[in-house]
Structure 1
Amino acid sequence: MSKSLQAIRGMNDILPEQTPLWRYLEGTVARLLDNYGYKQIRMPIVEFTELFKRSIGEVTDIVEKEMYTFEDRNGDSLTLRPEGTAACVRAVLEHGITGGGQVQKLWYIGPMFRHERPQKGRYRQFHQIGLEVFNLDGPDIDAELIIMTWRLWGELGIRDAVKLELNSLGTSESRGRYREALVEYLSVHHDKLDEDSQRRLKTNPLRVLDTKNADTQAVLVDAPKMADYLDEESRAHFEGLKARLDAVGIPYVLNPKLVRGLDYYSKTVFEWVTDKLGAQGTVCAGGRYDGLVEQMGGKPTTGVGFAMGIERLVLMLETLEQIPEEISRQVDVYLCAFGEEAELAGLALAERVRDQLPNLRLQVNAGAGSFKSQFKKADKSGALYALILGDDEMAQQVVGFKPLRGQGEQQSIAWDALAAHLATCVVQG
């Protein structure tokens, strides 16, 4: 027997009962970003592999172990994008939209791909909403990104379940000085480091700071601190960011071990973390990458951004039971028609109602069926009300109106008055 077809491990279907929550989350974020003046950009899922080697860094875990890379028929090495920032920078460079100091405030949404061990909240195909800002170098724009996410958590009802962690990595020069001091310290304690940290000590020593190994964490207690190596420019920038967050009233925690997993970050880095999702505690993260555009062949251009994982935010909403009642109901009204003449009249009536109430979720029964079977489908749809159209209703040019989710008697509504009646009832319901 042939093996049954199934999805690739870590790449999941999002089923019809799940998509309303996804659409609610995506729509909420899109409206928020529109209100703050951000414009959407859409990039390809596949890019040349060199793009990610140059931007993320060849000795990062992503490039070394996690990318989906393949050779196409032309012999080019291509990669399914593991993150969005590099692709967005490539797009703005290719189309010249940041040239001459033009400010661009952009956002995107879509799938990303990393070959990791799948677990709850972490998948091989995962979805992100990302945001990038170019040619603004002050702490005010860093603050705006964090303020927007704070507002989003409030709108989603999860603000009490997340915590903001902040750090500054300084400029590449100050980070280089810190790296030398950290390597010197850790080299003395090399035998006490876990195997993964020993490897990172040679390739990407700052990543040792966010190790989860308890023995290595104990070694790090007395390690040099990034704050002691910050240049004055970075220090002033970080103080400006904190002052703005204080002015708005956003609480935060300083985390000197927060470095992020990508080589291109500088100055501000931040993460929104939660203890509601087990080990996968980061729901949104980002920071400043002032040298990345130049590193990728462009003129010096400042940049800052963040990305949030849709799967983890959906899981947060489910875990905290912050799912609005209206999105769990996909149908407002269900029309039942009995007999061919009633079916034809019902179709015409439904379209007139839709013309007048374009936001009404009105489902017309398909496949005919008895009174009992149609009402069973109406109830299963989750609709608030059923509309009934049979011989008696046709003769009087009325429609039966029956509440399905509460008390109330069935009544007859004239066809011409149906839209106005539904507008009142569905809003009130």
Structure 2
Amino acid sequence: MAIEKIQAIRGMSDMLPEDAPLWHFFEKEASSLAKLYGYQHIRTPIVEQTRLFKRGIGEVTDIVEKEMYSFVDSLNGDELSLRPENTASVVRACIEHNLLYEGPKRLWYMGPMFRHERPQRGRYRQFHQFGMEAMGFKGPDTDAEQLLMLNRLWKRLGIAPVRLELNCLGQLEDRKAYREVLIQYFEAHKDILDEDASRRLYSNPLRILDTKNPDMQDLVNNAPKLYDSLGEESKQFLADLEAILKAEGIDYVVNPRLVRGLDYYNLTVFEWVTDKLGAQGTICGGGRYDPLIGMLGGRDAPACGFAMGIERVLELMKECGVKPESRECDVYVVWDKALYLNALSAAERLRDADIATIIHSGSMKFGNQMKRADASGALYALVIGADEAAAGKVGLKALRENLEGYGEQKTLTIDEAVSLLGQHV
């Protein structure tokens, strides 16, 4: 009787070794950039109390209503959820551990999130985000710095240019006034509203502006503009932000339809968009959320941040032909029969010097071993043959055309080999 194979849950994918170089390249560049700008690493639990997200994201949202993986802990009755995003968790951690007591904080994170939505290219039910939160910083200079940082990241990843879309949501009072204007406008065109728009008309009318329904595009394009409802301080904040971006040569467009439907968002909102991934072109979104810390029980403090779906960014990197160097090891050790202990001793000396090393396992024919060494992507083959062992030495052969002495084999002591490899790997 055949045993049924168990497969991964739909929308939750494995990262296979062939994909690892792209992931590692992204992780290295993102984390080093965070350090470059003075951001500190924070990790939060994957599971949080459901009410954190209901309060932090909002109960009248698709995420909370349709997409969260929520459950009741059978051991104590707690209502828990797998985190669908990480900003609320980072804010919770800041409040719980009083991180802002000594002053503002720049924080970054990277890890898995969970949403029960229809899987599609670059969008999964378990997906990964890289994000940054700057807490305690009030001015547009912090918003601008994050945009400069992202522009630098796209260049490092080899996916520039990516289009920056920008808008200003104003403050809560600005949006309350705009909300009333918007409701009146859409009430006059109820016959055009689709089911989602009708449902959001009184609970979250700003989200109607974000509709992808082609039958509603003329309606939302002709809707009153949020900018006309902004107060002078909000308009000045946007002007100051734009001035910094222009001074630094960052291209952008102001998109009046770019909104967030939740009350804790204010002032800056932005997205980075590409045309290379089809309809789902946003790879990064963020903005300012000054009221959120107070809404979650902390002392009021300004904040802004962003998050990007890593899988989406990796898809774009593939589209742009980014292929990071991939190799299993730096040195591949080939050895003659009965000389395994000699090979093991040499490999351990290399590893002592932090040189990634694989010892051949399998066929003992030197030709097959060298083919495997080449296939591994190793820069060098370390040869332990009978002649080398008798002389107390090793053979070292460069396997890549860009290396000095390519194709030649040198006979060296292990100390000499370690020294030479330390300069080239």
TM-score band, normalised by shorter chain = over 0.9
CA distance in 2, matches of 1:349, 1:408: 21
Within a 5 Å distance, the mapping from 1:38-77 to structure 2 comes to: 38-73=39-74, 74-77=76-79
Structure 2 letter corresponding to 1:350: A
Deviations 1:81-139 (A, max 9, x none): 00000011111111111237x20111111100001100001110000011111111100
1:410 corresponding residue in structure 2: 409
Aligned to 2:290: 290
**Does the alignment pair 1:384 with 2:379?**
yes
Counterparts of 2:4 and 2:260, CA distance in 1: 41
SS at the partner of 2:11?
coil
Q: Aligned pair 1:365/2:360, yes or no? A: yes
- Structure 2 contact 133–305 (Cα < 8 Å) conserved: yes
Q: CA deviation at 1:261?
A: 5.7
SS of the residue corresponding to residue 99 of structure 1 reads: coil
Which residues of 2 match residues 238-249 of structure 1 at below 5 A? 238-249=238-249
Compare the two structures and name the one with the higher helix fraction. Answer: 1
Deviation string 1:183-202 (CA, Å, 9 cap, x unpaired) is: 11011001112222111213
SS in 2 for 1:203: coil
2:318 alignment partner, SS class = helix
- Structure 1 position 421, deviation (Å): 2.8
**1:139-150 aligned within 5 A:** 139-150=140-151
Scaled by the length of structure 2, the TM-score of the pair is 0.94
Distance in 2, matches of 1:191 and 1:3, equals 52
* % same residue: 55
Residue 392 (structure 2) aligns with? 397
Displacement, 1:367? 4.9
Check conservation: 1:182, 1:205, Cα contact below 8 A. yes
**1:261 and 1:322 mapped to 2: Cα distance?**
35
The answer for the alignment partner of 1:335 in structure 2 is 333
Secondary structure of 1:191's counterpart equals coil
Take 2:118 and 2:342, find their aligned partners in 1: how far apart are those partners? 56
Aligned AA for 2:155?
Answer: G
Q: What residue is the counterpart of 1:265 in the other structure?
A: 265
Separation in 2, partners of 1:215, 1:280 = 18
Question: Any idea what SS the aligned residue of 1:323 has?
Answer: coil
The change in CA–CA distance for 1:28 and 1:261 in structure 2 (over 3 A counts) is farther
Structure 2 counterpart of 1:182, one-letter code:
L
User: How far off is 1:158 after superposition?
Assistant: 1.4
Aligned residue in 2 for 1:156: 157
Letter in 2 for 1:348: S
Any idea what SS the aligned residue of 2:167 has?
Answer: strand
Displacement of 1:176 after TM fit?
0.9
Distance 2:283 2:317 in 1: 12
Match of 1:351 among 312, 330, 348: 348
User: Counterpart of 1:17 in 2: which secondary structure?
Assistant: helix
SS, match of residue 290 in structure 1: coil
| Count of aligned positions | 419
> 1: CA distance between counterparts of 2:182 and 2:46?
37
Code of the residue aligned with 2:100 in structure 1: it is: T
Q: Is the 8 A contact 1:166 1:269 kept in 2?
A: yes
Post-superposition CA distance 1:397-422 (Å, at most 9, x none) = 22222333445233323333112332
Name the aligned partner's letter for residue 349 of structure 1. Answer: A
Secondary structure in 2 matching 1:164:
strand
SS in 2 for 1:129: strand
- Residue deviations 1:348-379 (CA, integer Å, cap 9, x gap): 222223334x2x33222235733233223212
CA contact (8 A) 1:55 1:263 kept: no
Paired residue secondary structure (2:170): coil
Q: Which residue of 1 aligns with 2:81?
A: 79
User: Do the aligned partners of 1:164 and 1:251 also contact (CA within 8 Å) in 2?
Assistant: yes
Change (3 A) 1:317 1:261: farther
Q: Report SS of the residue matched to 2:381.
A: strand
Secondary structure in structure 1 of the residue aligned to 2:18: coil
Which deviations, in whole Å up to 9, do the C-alpha atoms of 1:254-311 show, x marking residues without a partner?
0000013655311100001101111221111100001111111122111100001110
Cα distance in 1 for residues equivalent to 2:374 and 2:238: 57
Whole-angstrom CA distance in 1 between matches of 2:313 and 2:35:
20
Q: Distance in 1 between matches of 2:159 and 2:47?
A: 33
Instruction: Give the aligned partner of residue 95 of structure 2.
Output: 93
Which residue does the alignment assign to 1:179? 179
Is the CA contact 2:328–2:377 (under 8 Å) kept in the aligned structure 1?
yes
Alpha-carbon separation, structure 1, partners of 2:78 and 2:350:
54
Q: Distance in 1 between matches of 2:133 and 2:301?
A: 12
Distance 1:246 1:285 in 2: 20
Partner of 2:77, secondary structure, is coil
Aligned ranges 1:204-353 → 2 under 5 Å: 204-260=204-260, 262-324=262-324, 326=325, 328-340=326-338, 342-353=339-350
Q: What is the distance in 2 between the residues matched to 1:135 and 1:421?
A: 50
What is the match of residue 421 of structure 2? 422
What RMSD over aligned residues (CA atoms) do the two structures have, in Å? 1.7
Query: For 2:147 and 2:233, how far apart are their aligned partners in 1?
Result: 21
- C-alpha separation between the residues in 2 aligned to 1:348 and 1:3? 44
What residue in structure 2 maps to residue 11 of structure 1?
12
